Structure 1
């Protein structure tokens, strides 16, 4: 009986170990990344002439680090939004301009990264450029940061205009001196876009699309972008001259979390 009990105990121990190994492998299988629905496309497959400067893959943003979920410098949009943007590009090319996108589809994990950063009041590394006049304690209250973003639905993009021929721009060097995003164009961080009065992602009321303090060439540039896009079904967020959503949205109530990567797309093969 002693030998039999020992054998039984051995079998039980082995079976328990097998269960532990099996359980440990389940999360690994479940952790595979979500895929985009077939309605999503890479913008470059619809219009390769639109410039892409995907800021959240780089440290040149208000957080100062690459944002979670951005794996490649790729603009992903729902197909209707991408095709409408192509129409806008065709019109602007005839006028001597090109569109340049800074951000397109944004995974929920990136929005969560923004929220964590906003709650960390000690991290103000990029304040000097992106929010020099805004107390970080007010980012949620003033609407600069939220727990959900229309970008995660796939039909919203941040973009600007570039006069052709486009000039090259230098990369941001982490740690370099910061200049306020509302400084004169020749003083703030160089961008080959036309002068919109502020840089991209400038947390300031001067970024409001029709702020009365923005006049002359800067106002004309904002209105050129606005009139071109609105004529094709895009709607501007009044607080951000760069933010547009194509309507009707393909996914008006769904917030996706697949990574910004070619592998996320159905046509990636």
Structure 2
């Protein structure tokens, strides 16, 4: 258990930066200065439900820094994700994106929320089996890999033969469900749910993305352009 906790503290929601080098906060003020691009400039009709831009998330409110429901990523990461989507469409499947680049101020919002033990509004939906006191550290980190622009949260959809209707596959838990059942390889899901998670992982790994094993939805591009730099550019 101690080893698992230590591992979680290093990776948690945001895959903390490499332990041997502290993250540097970029001076970039705009997405262009940070070389962050909107994925829809590459895939105009990619499915998105950017959770932190609205109320349907574990905080229960729009998160600081999300001024628009957009998926921004470092340019080569966006290009790799576009290739994943292209490959999937040949199989009548598609991605659905929940979060991509995450401003540093959004991570600070998460930390403030975790410290507010009186706010239990989202417990039933996001951490029904945990005391909120344990979320900070094991699940919510003070520095997030998302803030580097190389990490994203997503799921997999299956479409009909005409690609007219696409529906998310059953992965066993919702997004941002803080529980061991969200671990990618947990035995506590059905064989079909496990197979769906593996299908997503295989599709992402083919283009160089690596899964964070405690969250089936969480992927980081292995060749991050700025692995020691975080950004605080608003999403807009």
TM-score range, shorter chain: 0.7 to 0.9
Cα separation, 1, equivalents of 2:223 and 2:69: 26
Cα separation, 1, equivalents of 2:38 and 2:231: 15
Corresponding position of 2:6 = none
> Is 2:154 the counterpart of 1:159?
yes
> Is 2:205 the counterpart of 1:211?
no
Question: How has the CA–CA distance of structure 1 residues 125 and 38 changed in structure 2, closer, same or farther, with 3 Å as cutoff?
Answer: closer
Q: What SS is found at the alignment partner of 1:202?
A: coil
Instruction: Name whichever of 82-91 and 33-42 sits farther off.
Output: 33-42
Q: How many residues in Structure 1 have an aligned counterpart in Structure 2?
A: 205
List aligned pairs for 1:40-79, cutoff 5 A: 40-79=36-75
Cα deviation, 1:65-118, whole Å, max 9, x if unaligned, reads 000000011100011111111111111111111101000000000000000000
Cα separation, 2, equivalents of 1:234 and 1:194: 20
Q: Which of 212, 220, 223 matches 2:198?
A: 223
Corresponding position of 1:99 = 95
Cα deviation, 1:122-151, whole Å, max 9, x if unaligned, reads 00101010000010011124x211100000
> Is 2:222 the counterpart of 1:243?
no
Question: How has the CA–CA distance of structure 1 residues 45 and 122 changed in structure 2, closer, same or farther, with 3 Å as cutoff?
Answer: same
Corresponding position of 1:232 = 207
Instruction: Name whichever of 157-166 and 249-258 sits farther off.
Output: 157-166
The structure, 1 or 2, with the larger RCO (C-alpha pairs under 8 Å, 6+ apart) is 2
Unaligned runs of 5+ in 2: 1-27
Unaligned runs of 5+ in 1: 1-32, 169-191, 262-269
Post-superposition offset of 1:60 = 0.5
Corresponding position of 1:116 = 112
Q: What SS is found at the alignment partner of 1:223?
A: helix
Corresponding position of 2:228 = 253
Which ranges of 4 or more aligned residues in structure 1 deviate by more than 2 Å?
36-39, 165-168
**TM-score normalised per structure 1:** 0.74
Give the CA RMSD over aligned residues.
1.5
Cα deviation, 1:179-223, whole Å, max 9, x if unaligned, reads xxxxxxxxxxxxx41100000110010000010122321111100
Question: How has the CA–CA distance of structure 1 residues 99 and 206 changed in structure 2, closer, same or farther, with 3 Å as cutoff?
Answer: same
User: Could you say which structure has the higher strand fraction?
Assistant: 2
